[in-house]
Amino acid sequence: MNDNSNLTTSQPFDDTDGVPLFLVNAGVPIDNALARAADLMMYVETLAAADSLMNKDHERAILQTLSEMAKALTRACQGAAA
């Protein structure tokens, strides 16, 4: 019996005009996906705390993109548990 409950499900993200540009792949071990999501959120926290970019629009875009990636990873893990 193949137990896929500990693997990610496919999770699209970063929609443009309703079409996702990126996708979390199905079949990634959940532990690996959650570790990567934690890394991404650490990057978000570090960048937000540093307040080092001169262009605040770019900084917001970077923070939003990294956050969307982390959220997609966690949703892909939640879908596997359902």
Check residue 81 and give its pLDDT.
Answer: 62
Question: How do residues 14-46 score in pLDDT, each as one tens digit?
Answer: 988 999 999 999 999 999 999 999 999 999 999
Say which residue, 56 or 69, is predicted with more confidence: 69
CB neighbours of residue 32 within 10 Å: 13
Domain map (residue ranges) of the chain: 11-81
**pTM of structure:** 0.84
pLDDT of 3: 65
How far is it, in rounded angstroms, from Cα 18 to Cα 9?
20
